[in-house]
């Protein structure tokens, strides 16, 4: 995840550099007409690369930040909806427990010491990995 953010930041900075370099390469249009009219097409030729850069920038932001975040959020919601009594979970505070009951917005967890506590559903970050006996 961190590598993706660094990569997207690098791509954005590279595109910004290309845009700045390209915008300085356009010649300044000078009007040679003696009637005082000026050409407005030169302003569009310098504006088009900037608009293309903005569209590319928003596309990169979507694919590198917004889309993965939404996907992860959907997976978390599915995981929380699938939890049921007997599942072993981990909370965001690092508490390991087994679900004793499920309410609308919370779980009742039983810890290893035998105590129970009620935690909000959003506080559960995942299931505990299944402990399989190691063969020697």
pLDDT at 60: 87
Domain ranges of the chain: 2-27+41-82, 88-127
What is the full DSSP assignment across 30-72? ----SSS---SHHHHHHHHHHHHHHHHHHHHHIIIIIHHHHHH
Is residue 82 a contact partner of residue 68, using CB atoms and an 8 Å limit? no
Q: Look at the domain 88-127 and name its fold.
A: SH3 type barrels. (2.30.30)
Kindly state the helix (H) or strand (E) to which residue 110 belongs, with its residue range.
strand 106-110
pLDDT at 130: 73
pTM across the whole model: 0.56
At 10-20, the pLDDT tens digits run 777 776 777 66
pLDDT at 93: 93
**Residues in the chain, pLDDT under 70:** 1-2, 4, 7, 15, 19-43, 131-136
């Amino acid at each position: 995840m961190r590598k993706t953010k660094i990569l997207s930041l690098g791509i954005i900075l590279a595109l910004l550099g290309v845009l700045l370099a390209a915008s300085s390469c356009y010649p300044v249009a000078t009007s040679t007409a003696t009637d005082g009219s000026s050409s407005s097409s030169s302003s569009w030729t310098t504006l088009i690369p900037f608009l293309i850069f903005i569209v590319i920038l928003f596309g990169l932001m979507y694919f590198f930040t917004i889309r993965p975040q939404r996907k992860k959020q959907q997976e978390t919601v599915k995981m929380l909806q699938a939890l049921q009594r007997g599942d072993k979970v981990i909370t965001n505070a690092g508490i390991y427990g087994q679900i004793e009951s499920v309410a609308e917005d919370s779980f009742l967890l039983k810890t290893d010491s035998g105590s129970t506590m009620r935690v909000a559903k959003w506080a559960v970050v995942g299931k505990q990995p299944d402990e399989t006996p190691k063969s020697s």
